[in-house]
Chains A and B, each alone.
Chain A
Amino acid sequence: MAKHETPLLDQLESGPWPSFVSDIKQEAENRAKNANNVEFQVKQDVCEDILGVLELSYKHGRTHWKHGGIVGVFGYGGGVIGRYCDQPEMFPGVAHFHTIRVNQPAGKFYNTEWLRNLCDLWEFRGSGITNMHGSTGDIVFLGTVTEQLEEIFFELTHKHGQDLGGSGSNLRTPSDCIGEARCEYACYDTQALCHFLTNEYQDELHRPAFPYKFKFKFDGCPNCCVASIARSDMSFIGTWRDDIRIDQDAVAAYVGGEYPPNAGAHKDGNWGAFDIQKEVIDLCPTGCMKYEGGKLEINDKECTRCMHCINVMPRALKKGLDTGVSILVGAKAPILDGAQMGSLLVPFVKVEEPYEEITEVIEAIWDWWMEEGKNRERLGELIKRQGFQAMLDAVGIDPVPQHVKEPRSNPYIFWKEDEVPGGWQRDVNEFRKYHQR
């Protein structure tokens, strides 16, 4: 017999998609049985109370979590999101219900031994409920009490060699696409760069020193499978600057219908036979492709590396060999002054250990933003407030046409005084000698 009636949530157990309600219920049952005699460090019926408080929210159409909650571990200024239920008498199991962010390995590959260790720890000292994963990338341990935070941190670091992720006004947990590990489009090793920078900037991640939060994400190519361009203040997108490699025999195999277009991604639709003119040449955004006499040609100088043709014919077309990343800056959600996507800052830089060219850009941006950024002002907003030019100046990058989608249309142009012959200090009486009042 469940502790709380959950008639509304029960209706989310039917239907084909995996039901979080069924899953929490199975955890509640397992804790009640406790087959392995675990000495639970938070209430045994915590999962029943999670369902109870959620059911109450369904009834009221409102959240039942109190505002905020400042908890953590010594030495760090973030990593734990505190939470307290606003009906603790009714649901004592979730009176405290803090979330711990655990820094995931790049690419989110795991072995089962490691996952089981984490599960054992979390069953013992927490609710047994997780998010796999938070949208920033962390493994999220959902729900424990304040007294357990240091214990969990001690075990994580001492037994499992594992650190917390980020929260607050600092560098948040970086994350990446699968990249070279399992994708032929990857232009650099996203996991290696993600791991390197996460370690390089541990201090910035654990101890808030910024005007606001800051995120890194790493995409291996412009398909953006980790959506860096929309979800990170500094977005690293793989690209190349030489020619797309064309295998004409493979092109013929696509035209002949031996290879499925787009690797078979449209298999269940009725799209007819592959038509290279219609599906590739005519859709190229720059019109830089030609298919004549059974031969595919690309005017690479005009190609913007949008990935379309490569996506459609992955066996015939390959990214170039001179690869690197573009760095875009400023993406953020709407609060305060509107959503932004990353704007191109560095068109191309090689990705080579020890990544100095990349860390130089990061640190120059941080120096500027940490000095000039207002309280709770994201990088994107500082760029808007002070201007893209101010950023270029601060970071020491020369302006190029690639920095804009289009030149400005208003003529409200600022000049620096030293750019104008004679400067700005002028005498009106001198002017009046030639122009009477």
Chain B
Amino acid sequence: MAFVSSGYNPEKPMENRITDIGPKHFEQFYPPVIKANKGKWAYHEVLQAGVLKHVAESGDEVYTVRVGGARLMSVTHIREICEIADKHCDGYVRWTTRNNVEFMVDAEAKVKPLIDDLESRKFAGGSYKFPVGGTGAGITNIVHTQGWIHCHTPATDASGPVKAAMDVLFDDFKSMRLPAHLRVSLACCLNMCGAVHCSDIAILGYHRKPPMLDHEYLDKMCEIPLAVAACPTAAIRPTKVEIGDKKLNSVAVKQERCMFCGNCYTMCPSMPLADTEGDGIVIMAGGKVSNRISYPKFSKVVVAFLPNEVPRWESTTDCIKNMVEAYAAGANKYERFGEWAERIGWERFFDVTGLEFTHHLIDDFRDPAYYTWRQTSQFKF
């Protein structure tokens, strides 16, 4: 493995340095039919799950075939996407805001050969490489995060639970039978890198034990005031500790005030808190970002804890499947998950889903918590 230089000269690092050129211009990557009709689309139709047709004022048509993507993908897989795009789409392809892949063709006759090709491709283990779906009133890809593959603060994995959940929800990726589209997201800690706080159903990694304190190293590795300021509940204070005959600056954590958010660890490497039994999953529900009919909504915590069950997270996927079915059975056409829960009342939501209501679900964070309690005599038995 010999080092091969790119031409960069480490002796003169600032020589020949190019900076601030930004991304490539988008227009060079538009398929011709997109370029020609940009801003002049007349209408669209979902022909079947995963297949869209857009018609331009000029009469031009573009057919889009959307396929699921694992998001985490190899260059081998991307090259296979390129091969398909070359074969069917004149070398153009795009990704969606939910990490699906879209292949576009400019004539209806080209759609079926493309779909047949996509659906015929499988990995050695048997899973589809390019399942067609993810449109309309169904379940599309799960927006997710790094998990144990790359991040230092997760309380669960990302790629694993997402694969497990999409396997269970696969039929709804491939069909459009629900009252409205249903977005699922996952974040492996409550930094929520992604869309967990605004999704119909969300999976969130959570800890349940306060951080451990690496007193010997803490003052050397961390800026103590930053760790103190990192705590939303002010559970951390600076202190001195004696280790052997040494007096060291460190922090103390008031354990009964800590709600295990992990933000102090983000700021201070000497406060790790990950734990095999302690860590697991919180399920949230009822969020949305679109302004359609009702305002955008935050998702609400509906299950306070499910364990990390490697490798397939059965309790989590069962819980989600159960919620999807209750929604499919109870909601009106066009009604998003959160609109449905609010219409029937959250007490009825717990009824029909059979989810247990525990004290963890009652908000107790600062002043706004009051507004989530019930200041009315209106409720259902």
Contact = CB atoms under 8 A, between A and B. Distances in A.
B1 interface: yes
Interface stretch (B131-139, B236-244, B343-351, B352-360): B131-139
Interface in B287-327: 287, 289-296, 298, 308, 310-312
B38 A104 contact: no
Contact of B157 (A25, A57, A122, A405): A57
A320 interface: no
B195 A231 contact: yes
B154 interface: yes
Contacts of B308: 61
* Residue of B43, B125, B151 contacting most chain A CB atoms (<10 Å): B125
Contacts of A178: 94, 96
Contact of B48 (A58, A142, A151, A267): A267
A142 B263 contact: no
Interface string B226-253: 1001101000000000000000000000
Contacts of A271: 333
Given A61-B308, A132-B69, A223-B291, A18 B127 contact: yes
Interface stretch (A330-338, A359-367, A420-428): A330-338
Contacts of A108: 94-97
Interface in B10-48: 10, 13-14, 16-31, 34, 38-39, 41-48
Interface residues of B, number: 150
A268 B177 contact: yes
A192 to B, nearest CB: 8
B20 A162 contact: no
B43 A315 contact: yes
B312 A341 contact: no
Given A110-B92, A222-B291, A269-B176, A18 B152 contact: no
A122 B159 CA distance: 21
Contacts of B166: 17
Nearest to A182: B54
Q: Which residue among A47, A152, A271 has the maximum number of chain B CB atoms within 10 Å of its CB?
A: A271
Interface in A107-157: 107-116, 118-119, 122-124, 128-133, 135, 142-143, 147, 150-155, 157
Q: Which of B23, B82, B124, B191 has the most CB of A within 10 A?
A: B23
Nearest to B1: A40
A338 B365 contact: yes
A67 B78 CA distance: 30
A5 to B, nearest CB: 14
A128 B58 CA distance: 42
Interface string B275-294: 11101000000010111111
Contact of B269 (A68, A81, A189, A230): A68
B201 interface: no
Contacts of A334: 190, 192, 197
A181 B368 CA distance: 42
Interface stretch (B108-116, B141-149, B373-381): B141-149
Contacts of A333: 190-193, 196-197
A237 B202 CA distance: 24
Given A17-B128, A97-B150, A135-B193, A129 B290 contact: no
Interface centre among B54, B76, B177, B276 (most CB of A within 10 A): B76
A404 interface: no
B268 to A, nearest CB: 8
A60 B91 CA distance: 44
A133 B24 CA distance: 16
A419 B71 CA distance: 56
B181 A265 contact: yes
A335 B232 contact: yes
A307 B290 contact: yes
Contacts of B137: 262, 265-266, 268-269
Nearest to B125: A13
Nearest to B183: A227
B78 A115 contact: yes
Contacts of A22: 123-125, 127
Contact of B150 (A142, A162, A202): A142
Contacts of B341: none
Nearest to A43: B1
Contacts of A311: 292
A191 B26 contact: yes
Contacts of A433: none
A195 B97 contact: no
B72 A20 contact: yes
B298 A339 contact: yes
A8 interface: yes
Contacts of A66: 152, 269
Given A99-B150, A116-B82, A132-B73, A157 B167 contact: no
Given A58-B311, A113-B91, A264-B45, A184 B26 contact: no
B47 A264 contact: yes
Nearest to A315: B43
A27 B78 CA distance: 11
A224 B39 contact: no
B72 A17 contact: no
B21 A163 contact: yes
A381 to B, nearest CB: 11
A403 interface: no
Contacts of A279: 333-334
Contact of A15 (B44, B94, B167): B167
Given A133-B99, A135-B145, A307-B292, A314 B179 contact: no
Given A150-B8, A175-B97, A181-B38, A105 B25 contact: yes
A209 interface: no
Contacts of A24: 72, 74
Interface in A280-324: 283, 285, 304-308, 311-312, 314-315
B123 A18 contact: yes
Interface of A: 8-27, 30, 39-41, 43-44, 47, 50, 54, 57-68, 74-76, 81, 83, 97, 99, 103-116, 118-119, 122-124, 128-133, 135, 142-143, 147, 150-155, 157-158, 161-163, 175, 177-178, 180-184, 186, 189, 191, 195, 198-199, 202-203, 206, 222-227, 229-231, 237, 260, 262-269, 271, 279, 283, 285, 304-308, 311-312, 314-315, 333-339, 341, 375-376, 405
Interface of B: 1-8, 10, 13-14, 16-31, 34, 38-39, 41-49, 54, 62, 64, 68-79, 81-83, 85-86, 91-97, 99, 101, 104, 123-131, 135-138, 143, 145, 147-154, 157, 159-160, 163-164, 166-167, 170, 173, 175-179, 181, 190-198, 226, 229-230, 232, 261, 263, 265-266, 269, 272, 274-277, 279, 287, 289-296, 298, 308, 310-312, 333-334, 365-366, 368
5 contacts: A17-B166, A22-B125, A155-B6, A184-B54, A268-B176
